[in-house]
Amino acid sequence: MKVIPAIDILGGRCVRLRKGDFGTAGEVAADAIEAARAFVKSGAEWLHVVDLDGAKSGRRVNHELISRIISESGALAEVGGGIRTLGDIEWYIRCGAARVILGSAAYRDHALVKEAVARFGDKVAVGIDARRGLVATDGWTATAGKNYIDFAREVEEAGVKFAVVTDIERDGMLSGANTSMLAALKEATKLNLIASGGVRDMGDIRALAGLGVWGAVVGKAVYEGTLDLKEAIFYCKSAGGEV
């Protein structure tokens, strides 16, 4: 299992939110690029980078900074937020993104997902963001009427192989990963799952590795020190944690 530190950008600042609420944004690092370098120094191979302004507005906003994070950190990066077109996907891939995450666009435009997968293959992932079991869109400011498992099956049918799965009610709350939600998705689909939201400590890392998910996004736990990133990465590279 890959341990993937999160860098969320709002107004050019590295922040964390609680349950996706923009009003709770708090700065967690003085410099996003330096934070990325520190994560790589701790052993991180991947970064999870989100343009929060982009997610809310529906267009790329902090893309130039994100491009610098990718190039100057040297890490593999999955990027999300405000990515709505094939042009957006191509722009980030040209900048070196290893994976681009479609969120609201994937929910609204099934044809876009199919074409994106046809053109870019496994470099395209879909964000399955759920609030009380229902898909959320537009930077999590709106909730659709579709169950997250139904949505997961749809994107899998479109050819998607990777999904970043977030329980919004747990995101930024250090309340533990929603393993039941992930287990349900593993039973319903063959998607490579990247767990996001709620990870607090090594107990969560062990539980997620045991579940067999592809990766785990860690944010607030690392910034607040409830999870030692080096320890988590070491565990997941050991016989007990690698999947």
d(CA 172, CA 23): 13
Active site residue 51: no
* Regions of the chain with pLDDT less than 70: 239-243
Domains of the chain: 2-237 (3.20.20.70)
Helix (H) or strand (E) holding 25: strand 21-29
The pLDDT score that the predictor gives to residue 243 is: 46
- Record the tokens describing residue 37, joined without a space: 């370098």
The pLDDT score that the predictor gives to residue 95 is: 97
d(CA 97, CA 77): 5
Active site residue 88: no
> 51, 88, 129, 167: which one is catalytic?
129
d(CA 199, CA 216): 8
The pLDDT score that the predictor gives to residue 45 is: 98
> 8, 53, 167, 204: which one is catalytic?
8
By DSSP bridging, strand 215-218 and strand 192-196 are parallel
d(CA 163, CA 215): 10
Task: Supply the DSSP symbol for 123.
Answer: G
